[in-house]
Structure 1
Amino acid sequence: MTPGLMIAAPASGTGKTTVMLGLLRAFRDAGVAVQPFKSGPDYIDPAFHRAACGRTSFNLDSWAMPGAMLDGLTARSHDAELVLAEGSMGLFDGVATDDASGNGASADIARRMGWPVVLVIDVSGQAQSAAATALGFARYDAALPFAGVILNRVASPRHERLARHGMAAQGTRVFGALTRRGDLQLPERHLGLVQAAEHADLETRIRDYAAFLAEHVDLAALRSAAAAIARTPAAAALPIAPPAQRIALAQDAAFSFTYPHLLESWRAAGAEILPFSPLADEAPDPTADLVWLPGGYPELHAGRLAAADTFRTGLRRHAEDRPVHGECGGYMALGEALIDAEGVSHHMAGLLGLVTSYAKRRMHLGYRRATLHAPIGGIATGTALTGHEFHYSTILEQPDAPLAEVFDAQGDPVAEVGSHRGGVTGSFFHLIAAQ
C-alpha cells in the first residue's frame, strides 16, 4: 500500500482544508505523486483536491461503504508515492455506536488504512495548553497511529515558542507552525465552502497556499512519517450498478454534487455520461436513457432555472417515456415551485408536486438508509441504499407517492422519504452505495 497520512483536526473550522490544499500542491511541486482522499460525505472538498494536485479525490466512508469498496478505492493510489486524506469535522466524530469500527469517523478510516494522523490545531487564544489537546487526541485510541501536529493561526514568534514548548514537554512532534493569515482563507456559504469552480482566482490561491506551507512546514519529515497497513490490491467494488446505459447528467453551478466514485464506477461498468447545463438552458441529450439531476445550489439560481424554457421542455419530453431522477437540489428542481430565501416563489419543472422553501430554513443533516418503494431508473424496487442528507430547505407540499422508507444512522424513521410520479423520482437522500 502507498504510505499515507490523515490530515485531521479537533473540530471543523481549524483551517485543515487550506492546509490540505497547500500540502497537495507543495508535494506535487516537489515532484511527489500524491493521491488525495476525503473522509466522509462531502462533495465540495474533493474538487479542490483535484485542482491542487491534478488527481481525482475519492470519498472514503466507513459507515456508508462496505470494506471491499473502501479497499478498492484506496487501491487507486497504487501509482502514487504518497496518500493525503482530509478528515471531516473532528477526528473522532461519527455515528454514536459502541463499536468505533464502521462509525464513519476520520479516525476509523485512518486506523483501517494505517495512516498516521497529523492534527491541525488552531492555537488561537492559547499556547502551552494546546499540548493538552494534542495529548488527548494522541491517547484517545491506542490503535490509532498518531504522527504529530501542525500549529495553525500562530500570532507571533513568542506565541509559537510557547506552543512548541508545550508540545515538546509532552513528546508531541510539531511538523510546522503557520502564522495567522487572513488572506489565506476560502469563503463559505450555507453548505460549506464556495465550490472550486466558482473561484476565478483558485489557481492563484492554491499557489499561495503551497508557498506558505512549503515555507513553514517540514515536508520531508511529513513524508517520512507516512505509513500504511499492507493490503492485497483490490479492484473497487461497484457501489451500485449504473441506473441506465446512457445517463444525461446535469452539471453546472446549480447541479454539481456528484460523487466521483459513482461516476467512475458507472463508466467502468459501461455507462456513458452525457453532461448538460440547465443554467445554460440546455436540454438533456434526447438519446439518453435516464436524466439525473444531482444536488447543488438551485436556490441560488432559481430565477435562471425558472426561465430556462429549453431545459424544462427537454426534461418534460424525456419524462414522457423515460425515467428522471433528482437528488436534493435536483429533487427541488423537479417540483412545482422553489421559494428562495427572500420569499420569492419560482416555478420549477412541475414533474413532481413538491414545493420547497428556503424562507423557512431548517437544517437536515445525517446518514440515511433507504429501501426503495419504486425504481430509480434501473435501480430496482426493494434495493437498500446508503447515503446522507444535508440541506436547509423546508417541504411545504409533497403530494406524490413516497419513494422510499428512510431511516437515520440510529435506525429512527426519517420524514423526508422522497416521492415519485410515474418514472420521475426524487429525494433529499444523496446516494453513496448499495447495502
Structure 2
Amino acid sequence: MIPPGLLIAAPRSGSGKTTLVLGLLRALARSGVAVQPMKCGPDYIDPGFHAAAAGRVSYNLDSWAMRSDLLDSLVHQAGADADLFIGEALMGLFDGVAHDGASGDGSSSGLAARQGWPVLLVLDISGQSQSAGAVAKGFAGFRPDVRIAGVVLNKVASPRHEALARRGIEEAGLPVVGVLPRNADLVLPERHLGLVQADETVELDRRLEALADFVAAHCDLNAIRALAGTTRPSPAVEDAGLRPPGQRIALARDAAFSFVYPHLLAGWRRQGAEILPFSPLADEGPAEDADVVWLPGGYPELHGARLATATRFHKALRLFAETRPVHGECGGYMVLGQVLTDADGTAHRMTGLLDLETSFAKRRMNLGYRLAELKQDCTLGPKGTRVRGHEFHYSTTLRADDAPLFEVSDANGTLLGALGGRRGRVTGSFFHVIDKA
C-alpha cells in the first residue's frame, strides 16, 4: 500500500520551506510516524538533512531528468513501509524549464500533479499582511491540476501581523495550519551550493530537535497530516535506472566526496553491484579487488591541502588506473586533474590522471540540466549512449587538453559542445548523471 503524500512548497527560494520540512519530519518521526522524505529536482544537500531528520533515506524525484518508470519505481520502493510522504519543492512551486524532458518540465508543481499530492504553501509574509491572501489565491488558481491544500505563514512579526495575514488567506478560501514567528536562531549555516552538508553541521541533532519543537509549537501537526492526499496509482515497475559501472564499485565517500544520488546507489545494488567506500581525505586508496573507481562531486576545494598531501591515495589511484577504469563527477573530476586552485588562490597538486587545471579564484556559476551523449566508450556505456543530469559548480576551467567525453545540450535543446575528458581508462566531467535518456 503506497502512503498518501503532501508537498511543501513556496513562491520562491528562501521562503522557509526547508525549515518547515525539517521540523515537520523530525516532529512526525519522533511521534512514531514513518515519514518518507522526498526532494524535487537535482539537489544533494537537502536530502542529507531530510534523512537525518526522518531517519530514512530521502530520494530525489526529477521529472526532467528521470523517466516515468524510474519515478514510479522510486515512489513504490520508498513508500513500501512508510505512513506518509513529505516532499520538499525546489525554488518556486511552478518554476521549471521551458521544454519538457523525460517526464516533464522539472517543476515541483508537475510532480505534485503527477503524484496526486496536495501542496502546503509556505508564505514569507515579512513586509506584507492581507496581500498574502492575493498571493495564496493566485497560486491556488494558477494550475487546475495542482491543489493548494493549506498555508503556513512564516516570519510573522506580531499577533496583529498574524491576524491581518490570516484574514487575507482565509478570505482566499484556504486554511492557515501554521504560523511561524521570526527566529534567527533556527537558521542553518549555508555555503554557495546551499546549506552546509548535514554531516558537517555542528550539533545537527540538537538543531533538528529545536526545529521540531519550533514547528510543533506553531503548527497544527494533525491538520497538516490530514491535508495529505492519496498518492496516484502507477504501475509497480522494477526500474533500477542507470546500469552500474562495475560489479564492485570503489566509491570515494567523505566530506570532500559526498554528492552521489541515493537512487543511483540503490539502483546499482539492486542490479547486483557492491559498493566499497573509501576516504581520500583519510589517505585511503580504493579496494584492490574493485572493478571501477567512482569519485563523486563534493567540496574538494575546501580540502585542497589534505588532498594534495594524500600520497597513498594518489599512488593507489594511479596504480588502479593502469588496469581498470576511474570516473570522476564534478569535484571528483577536478581531483583527477593536475591542479586545483582554491578560492584564496592557492594551487594544490591533484592526482594528475587528466590534463586538467581548475580554479575557484574567480568564481563563475555553471548551472543547468544537461542531456549528454558519450563520444566514446566508457564506464557509463558505449559510444552514443545518452544520459540526463545536471551541471552545478562555481569553478573555472583553466586548461583541459584530454579527448572530450560528452557532447552536451541544455534543457532547451541548445547544443553546448564538448564536456569532460578521457585519458586512457580515466574519465570525468562536471556533469552529474541522474538517469539514462
Q: TM-score range by the shorter chain?
A: over 0.9
User: 1:236-289 CA distances to partner (integer Å, 9 max, x unpaired)?
Assistant: 412111010011000011000000000001011110100001111111111111
Letter in 2 for 1:60: L
**1:184 matched to which residue of 2?**
186
**1:395 matched to which residue of 2?**
397
Cα distance between partner residues in 2 of 1:126 and 1:237: 47
User: Does the C-alpha gap of structure 1 residues 416 and 360 become closer, same or farther in structure 2, counting only changes over 3 Å?
Assistant: farther
**1:280 matched to which residue of 2?**
282
Q: Under a length normalisation based on structure 1, what TM-score does the superposition of the two structures give?
A: 0.98
Aligned to 2:64, what secondary structure does the other structure show? coil
Q: How does 1:36-435 map to 2 (within 5 A)?
A: 36-75=37-76, 76-97=78-99, 102-232=104-234, 234-377=236-379, 379-415=381-417, 417-435=419-437
Unpaired segments ≥5 residues, structure 1:
none
Cα distance between partner residues in 2 of 1:274 and 1:404: 27
**1:20 matched to which residue of 2?**
21
* Post-superposition offset of 1:232: 4.1
User: Does the C-alpha gap of structure 1 residues 103 and 16 become closer, same or farther in structure 2, counting only changes over 3 Å?
Assistant: same
Please say if residues 150 and 227 of structure 2, whose CA atoms lie closer than 8 Å, have aligned partners that are also in contact: no
Letter in 2 for 1:64: A
* Post-superposition offset of 1:349: 0.5
Please say if residues 416 and 427 of structure 1, whose CA atoms lie closer than 8 Å, have aligned partners that are also in contact: no
Aligned residues: 435
Please say if residues 189 and 201 of structure 2, whose CA atoms lie closer than 8 Å, have aligned partners that are also in contact: no
Please say if residues 296 and 329 of structure 1, whose CA atoms lie closer than 8 Å, have aligned partners that are also in contact: yes
Letter in 2 for 1:302: G
Please say if residues 153 and 176 of structure 2, whose CA atoms lie closer than 8 Å, have aligned partners that are also in contact: yes
Aligned to 1:402, what secondary structure does the other structure show? coil
Please say if residues 40 and 62 of structure 2, whose CA atoms lie closer than 8 Å, have aligned partners that are also in contact: yes
* Post-superposition offset of 1:101: 6.5
Cα distance between partner residues in 1 of 2:65 and 2:197: 24
Cα distance between partner residues in 1 of 2:256 and 2:103: 35
Please say if residues 101 and 108 of structure 1, whose CA atoms lie closer than 8 Å, have aligned partners that are also in contact: no
Aligned to 1:149, what secondary structure does the other structure show? strand
Letter in 2 for 1:57: S
Aligned to 1:125, what secondary structure does the other structure show? coil
Unpaired segments ≥5 residues, structure 2:
none
User: Does the C-alpha gap of structure 1 residues 105 and 19 become closer, same or farther in structure 2, counting only changes over 3 Å?
Assistant: same
* Post-superposition offset of 1:169: 1.4
Please say if residues 99 and 105 of structure 2, whose CA atoms lie closer than 8 Å, have aligned partners that are also in contact: yes
User: 1:370-428 CA distances to partner (integer Å, 9 max, x unpaired)?
Assistant: 01112332622221000000000011100000001111011112256111001100000
Aligned to 1:206, what secondary structure does the other structure show? helix
Cα distance between partner residues in 1 of 2:103 and 2:159: 41
Which 4+ residue blocks in structure 1 deviate beyond 3 angstroms? 97-101
Letter in 2 for 1:157: P
Cα distance between partner residues in 2 of 1:160 and 1:232: 41
* Post-superposition offset of 1:34: 0.7
User: Does the C-alpha gap of structure 1 residues 129 and 99 become closer, same or farther in structure 2, counting only changes over 3 Å?
Assistant: farther
Cα distance between partner residues in 2 of 1:31 and 1:114: 24
Aligned to 2:6, what secondary structure does the other structure show? strand
Aligned to 2:167, what secondary structure does the other structure show? helix
User: 1:7-49 CA distances to partner (integer Å, 9 max, x unpaired)?
Assistant: 0111111111111010011111221111110000001111111
Aligned to 1:183, what secondary structure does the other structure show? helix
Identity of aligned residues (%): 60
Cα distance between partner residues in 2 of 1:201 and 1:409: 39
Aligned to 1:257, what secondary structure does the other structure show? coil
Aligned to 1:96, what secondary structure does the other structure show? coil
* Post-superposition offset of 1:234: 1.5
* Post-superposition offset of 1:125: 0.9
User: Does the C-alpha gap of structure 1 residues 127 and 216 become closer, same or farther in structure 2, counting only changes over 3 Å?
Assistant: same
Letter in 2 for 1:30: S
